[in-house]
Amino acid sequence: MNISKTKKRWGLILLLLAVIAILALYPLPPQAPIQYYDRQSGLLKTEKVAGEKWLVWLYNNPVGEATLWALAKRKVVSSVYGNRMDRHSSTKKIQPFVDEFDIDMSTAQKQEFN
Q: Which domain holds residue 20?
A: 5-102
DSSP 31: P
- 113 within some domain: no
Residue 108 lies in a domain: no
On whether residue 109 sits in a domain, the answer given is no
By C-alpha distance, which of 64, 56, 65 is closest to 34?
A: 56
Task: State phi, psi for 89 to the nearest 5 degrees.
Answer: -65, -20
Q: pTM of the predicted model, to two decimals? A: 0.63
112 lies in some domain? no
Angle subtended at Cα 50 by Cα 19 and Cα 93, rounded to the nearest 5 degrees: 110
Q: How many CA atoms lie within 13 A of 24 on its CB side?
A: 10
**Residue 14: alpha-carbon gap to chain centroid:** 27
Residue 24 resides in a domain: yes
Query: How many domains does the chain fold into?
Result: 1
Q: Does a structural domain hold residue 62?
A: yes
- Over its length of 114 residues, how does the chain's per-residue pLDDT go in tens digits? 577 888 888 888 888 888 878 777 777 777 788 899 999 999 999 999 898 888 888 888 888 888 888 887 888 888 998 999 999 999 899 899 999 998 888 888 777 766
Q: What is the pLDDT of residue 1?
A: 59
